[in-house]
Structure 1
Amino acid sequence: MNAHFPPLLSPSTSTPFPLTSAFPLHRISPPPLSTTANNFTSGSPSSPLCSQCTTNHPNSALSLPTATRTPPGNSLDHALLSLLRQRKTGEAWLLYAQSAHLPNPTCLSRLVAQLSYQGNPEGLSRAQSIISRLRHERLLHRLDANSLGLLAVSAAKSGHTQYANSVIKSMLRSNYLPHVKAWSAVVSRLAASGGDGPLEGIMLFNSVIKRLRRFPDPTLVRDSQPDTVAFNAVLNACANIGDVRKFLKVFDEMPEWNVVPDVLTYNVMIKLCARVDREDLLVYVLEAILIKGIELCITTFHSLIAAYVGFGDLETAEQLVQAMREGRRDICKILRDATNLEYPDDDENENDSENGLFEKLLPNLIQQSNHDPPLLQKAYAPDSRIYTTLMKGYMKAGRLTDTIRMLEAMRHQNDSNSHPDQVTYTTVISALVKAGSIEKARQVLAEMTRIGVPANLVTYNILLKGYCKQLKMDNAKELIKEMAEGSGILPDVVSYNTLIDGCILIDDSAGALAYFNEMRARGIAPSKISYTTLMKAFALSGQPKLAHKVFDEMLNDPRVKVDQVAWNMLIEGYCKLGLIEETKRVVQKMREHGFYPDVATYGSLANGIAMARKPGEALLLWNEVKERCRPKNEESCDSPSLPPLKPDEGLLDTLADICVRAAFFRKALEIVACMEENGMSPNKTKYSRIYVEMHSRMFTSKHASKARQDRRWERKRAAEAFKFWLGLPNSYYGSEWRLESGDEVNYQ
């Protein structure tokens, strides 16, 4: 997709949007109009959306009426249509907003389309408000495919990927097919997003393909059929999750739609090899491009360098860059020799499923075993992006000297394309900040200004993070001022998150709150990190109630999705003060929201219980942890609904410590046994010291009644077993243990 989605013009009209829908709608079966408009909002991705194409348009044009008088009926339609034809979208929106009546389908579709095409947050918000109004009035069927397609593209470009996804899916559920440029743009954005985005992109692609196959005549759905861009988008999703099988399935579908892989397809395949740790296959992908006669692009070499850097193979990356500098065309031979590759035999890979999949993707993996590696069609010189990628490898490996040396070498290149750019300098600044040389990083920033390479917000945010890590908050404030006054760059949510985190490091919760409020006053929406970082500030300063207020605000913010980290941060705030009852209420609320306690949650609870000195709560906590540690197939598990858990050493050690101090020796033995089963080494020295200090005289009284001694029998046995585990003198060896002379242990 291009950076801006162009209007699809009809040759016979001069209007910015055609009188008929440019994104054709294909109905598989006509849905009844009374059921086409169900719940559809920006937060409801599963609600259906139906649209109709309308071709009856008024031809007369009227001027914009005054704000105090809104024309009714047909007059409103004529006025709106005239404004929209003149591309006076803002005035058309005002006229629509002032009217209590809905315009006709043509005007509505044009207005949504032109608002979406503006490509700014205001236009997108206005278009979404029209969708919301139509939903409430059950008239969503008035919009055509062109408007809905442009709305999906605009939402995707603006970062509202899930909203865009909901628009396309709703069209599909209503038995309509969007234009390929619309649905492929959404797939592309989903593929590049984190979390489940790539999987959702694959599912959206499969949904479109499934509906396309229902048409016996492909010409009926020509505009919706996948093209190379669409296939590359979904292949990128498969590569991002490292699923070779899904990648091959999609790749094999390309001939069905008369789509031929291009160089970008194989660039994505390079990424796939990197995701699945197959460095040995990178050269085969390059050879496949050359064998098929596809013209290479510099991006292919960017991908190769990035892959080798990602593998930590800087030596091969350096050889590749050096070969490009020398203008060599035998890159494939160099890569073969550098990685000491041997072509696989059929017998060796007969039962290797992954190799079998790659053999289908790369037939040259076998076919070219007896041939010399192919030559490049021409020589390619490295550009600044390739040098910068190699520099990032140096930075990751801690090779600061090589990073600086590379920068100097780039400065003296004859080719202007190889000169350091904004990204190069930012990479160097990042390396210096990581090494703690913040002042040298400022010198690099000053040099950027001197030679006319403008620093961007990323550059300043890196420096800002460096100052905050070094607890130089005054310098950080000066840098924020320099950004705004000197460069005209305003801080973003990342900048404020960094400042809030810096305040936490110097124990300044008031300063963190001030930056949070300043960020919102500037109209910058807090992110999930903003909320959790501020919660951390209050939790660490012993103000859990304030942390809870921040959490509640986060919970009510529709732009932010509360995750496990936020719940754990809130729980930790209460546990640090030993407020167990409040913590238990938060944990119950967390369960109601569909989250289960994890190791971090239990660790905070254990620490809170220790602080509150409530060992009975520790027993309840251990019972829950113990049940979740058992294999799923054990019939004795009392909590089958809880997911399994692998405890860490900190959690178990804290629980064991509580039990030993409270003389719960049987439970202490269970916990230390769990530690040993999970490969942890319990601290016997610490537990021995606790036992000697607190329990060495527990059963030394000779005057206890027989009844009381009987009641203590089970407890005594557990104590003896624990002493046996510690290696202290105990009844198992038939010996007496005396802490001091005269302190005789009585086991009778």
Structure 2
Amino acid sequence: MNTTLTVSKHSKLLRPYLLKHNRRFCTEPNPQPLTPPQDDEQRITQTVQHLLETPHQEWSSSQPLQSLLFSSPLPSPRSILKTTRSLPSYCQALNFFQHLRENSLSTNTQSLSHSLQALLELAGREPDAASRLFELYQASKEWSVPLTVNAAALLIRYFGRLEMVDKSIVVFDEIDLSIKNTHIRNILIDVLLRDGRVDRALNVLDEMLQPVSQSPPNDVTGDIVFYGLTKRGRKGRNVSEEELIKLVLNLGKHSVFPRTNWLTQLVSSLCRNGKINQAWDVLHEQLKLGAPIESPTFNVLLTGLVRCGDVKRMNTALAEMKESGVQPDVVTLGIVINQLCKLRRVDDAMEVFNKMGEETGIDGVSVEADIVILNTLINGLCKVGRQEEGLDLMEKTKSNKGLVPNTVTYNCLIDGFCKVGEVEKGKELFEKMQQDGVSPNAITVNTLVDGMCRHRRINSALEFFGDMKEKGVKGNAAAAYTTLITAFCNADNFCKAVDLFDEMVRSGCSADAIVYYSLISGLCRAGRMDDAGNVYSKMKVAGFHPDIVCYNSLISGFCKKKKVDQAYEIVKEMEETGVKPDTITFNTLIAHFCKAGNFTLAHRVMKKMVKEGLAPTVATYGALIHGYCINGKLDDARKIFNNMSSTSKVPPNTVVYNILIESLCKNNDVKAALSLMDEMKAKGVKPNTTTYNAVFKGLKENNLLEDAFILMDSMIEHGCSPDYITMEILTQWLSTVGESDKLKSFVQGHKVSTLTA
């Protein structure tokens, strides 16, 4: 950029203020020069008075003015600055500067520099400040009037504010190296950062950080840099956390430290982003360099250590707080108590809590507990099943420490009692909180509703929820509706679940995806596919997208109802929306086709499953084996089973063994079933009651009594408890053949095969 302007160019702008001076001599014979006053302030006052009272064309002929300005001793540069600054307008100040330059002060560049500084201050307030400032700067170079440090600072700052940052850079590059001090560089860095020129600003800062730099950074530098780089919505590129860490450490070597809020912000950001080690290093490097660290910065580091469960370094940080003379505050102790409660070390947390507020305090520091810490501790007690102690603690602190319980306090206790089945106690606390003037919220209601539903008191939960709505308890009722709908679905009361859903929509309460998923899943299990389809349509209208679990529920439901075309429609829709079928999807289709005897289609689906990168699971093979068995193709079932046992990476489990054993028994091949049972034991697959029941049925049909006795002993030996089916089979059989005593011994857990008939 060519920034040089000729005198003719800039004088065009200055001409209205720079009138030519015709020197006039005083007409008085031999006038005696006035003796300048010795006092600077008096001299400044008199000079300004003469300048204002005398037309500027006559300044050169004014003996009093000439004496004030040019007689010995000459006015100091500071006096010239204040005189120029005292003139009421830019026009008069410019004429005064020109008067000084054209008279004997033309060789006194220091005084002219100070006058120019004041002139620049006045130019910056003019309507056309941008052009006037740059013209003055160009003129000062042609007149060989050097800038003072403050004049250079003014120009750089003014051009920055006027969004003429390129000119700020020009001024900085052209001024003498001797005045490029820390103050000037700080102003330039501030201007550059405000304009988003991050890299240029960091280059200037890097020069200041060099060991040989004559303008090292100071606290103002740190404030400008950290504010400029962390300010939200600022211009320019994003600065990485690594760059910020480097800046913090490099400035720290010059004893320039970020303010507490900025250091806390950096440490907090590192912790949130999972960079706990870097956060730890930054804080400790600052400690080594002697930075004045305060408790908020330690607190965010402690919070980060809590999140990742690093108790060892948490204790180290607490010890270092003490060593560094940083007093823990209520937040610090709240973090400690919260972590101890999470580790289920509630007694240790209680010890910390009890010391708070005492004269000796914790490590000699007395900090009063607040309601947040009390709630944390009560919640911790409830989590470990000590809700009675939590209730006692609430009453004691209310009496002894004046901590008034709030809604959160009661919510923690109500939740604690409900989770252990003491729902009535939870309801008593609900009544108590209202008596004490503590308002319940949506969480309170939802906690009680959930507690009642969890312990199968669904109707009581519904009644309570209705009462709360009538009493106008405010809050989002979606969670309570969701809990009730899910509970009625689990209880197979789908009519009530659907009624509640309709009521929820009518009341203007927005249903979330969980409500839709729960209802669709329950209706599909119950085979009410028309209702499930209706809810599914409403869900899409509401703007929710089904997940893979929802799709699988619908596919399974339609398959059970033998509505394969509709199941295929769901598969097609899920693929179109970008939801890939999973193993459950494919296994559901395979199982359906196998039951229908369409093994060609079943194997085609299995091939597609493999093509999609999904390996067949034990459920896949089980579906095929079960399909072949129920369709009378036992040899094909055994081929797949043998393939699983020999070449497949998916060995058969108890369910698969049971399918084949039950099928063998139904085909009167009990010996093969017993052999298969021995095989599963040898391979470490544990038979269950279903396995034994299938074989008992086969033995009964073939009247193999001794084998039944041996199997009864095996059942006792493997700790497998008989169920009502076992007892029904054996009771009918053994009573008929007169072996009731053996049945009695079997029930008592004694072996029976060694007893004689």
Q: TM-score, normalised by structure 1?
A: 0.49
Larger relative contact order (C-alpha < 8 A, sep ≥ 6)?
1
Q: TM-score, normalised by structure 2?
A: 0.49
